[in-house]
Amino acid sequence: MKIVVCVKQVPDTKGGVQFNPDGTLNRAAMLTIMNPDDKAGLEAALRLKDEYGAEVTVLTMGLPKAADVLREAMAMGADHGILVTDRVLGGADTWATSQTIAGALRNIDYDLIITGRQAIDGDTAQVGPQISEHLGIPVISYAQAIKLEGDSVVVERQYDDRYHVVKAKMPCLITALAELNEPRYMTPGGIFDAVDAEITTWGRADLKDVEDCNLGLKGSPTKIARASDKVRKGAGQKVALDAEEAAQYITDKLLEKHII
């Protein structure tokens, strides 16, 4: 069985966010981590490998330094790493990103593709379903449990207060939730091997059946008008009042701010 996991290198937002003049993220200047949902997706793939036997490939699109998340994934147990990087692919919105990843996936065999439900930076949850659309395969999103049944996957698809059990014939794509599992740690031996492990690197020329008009900033229908880091609100004001005084105090404040 062949499983491909799409992992995204995202800014470790605890360290603050920096932007380029054109509003896109200055990814080169920020600390980075593997997107949490993707790490759970990778762990799910490694557990299927442990239980049923599988070859796990991790794929990322990004700057050359995005190879770090591939090495982390290989130190956790992934077999192969593919980095898709090329200047012409920069500044991509979700449409261009999913076109790029689909173009790369057309070069490899897969029974199951796993992506995260969403990335903690763009937060759109669009890329997974978009990739499945470009490849013409079924998608099951919001997976909280995954198991195999012959040539099909059976997934618990999470809803607010319940879940549905959904079955799909492979090849198909699943989007994973961080709560799917507790990802394993990298092993010392795994880290050692991953440092020198060969990583396949592809550029625009290696993407299959994708048009230039669907790639990079130029191929992105979404235009970022303005981007800024969120304004961190100061601590609220604490007042020790009894209920009646408190009600009056709040009313006065709301009047003062012309909210009421």
**What DSSP string describes 116-134?**
ES--TTT----HHHHHHHH
What is the rounded end-to-end Cα distance, in angstroms, of the chain? 62
Does position 35 interact with ligand FAD (CB under 6 A)? The reply is yes
Instruction: Tell me the C-alpha distance between 51 and 104, whole Å.
Output: 28
Of 147, 99, 165, nearest to 126 by C-alpha is 99
| Range in contact with ligand FAD (rule: CB under 6 A) among 125-133, 137-145, 156-164, 184-192 | 125-133
The CB-of-160 to ligand FAD minimum distance in angstroms stands at 19
Cβ 19 vs Cβ 127: under 8 Å: no
Instruction: Tell me the C-alpha distance between 11 and 30, whole Å.
Output: 6
Does position 121 interact with ligand FAD (CB under 6 A)? The reply is yes
The CB-of-149 to ligand FAD minimum distance in angstroms stands at 24
Q: Contact letters (x/-) for ligand FAD, 72-111, by CB under 6 A?
A: --------------------xxx--x---x----------
Cβ 32 vs Cβ 12: under 8 Å: yes
| Range in contact with ligand FAD (rule: CB under 6 A) among 30-38, 102-110, 145-153, 157-165 | 30-38
Does position 43 interact with ligand FAD (CB under 6 A)? The reply is no
**Which residues of this protein are in contact with ligand FAD, per CB under 6 A?**
6-8, 25, 35, 37-38, 60-62, 92-94, 97, 101, 115-116, 118-119, 121-128, 222
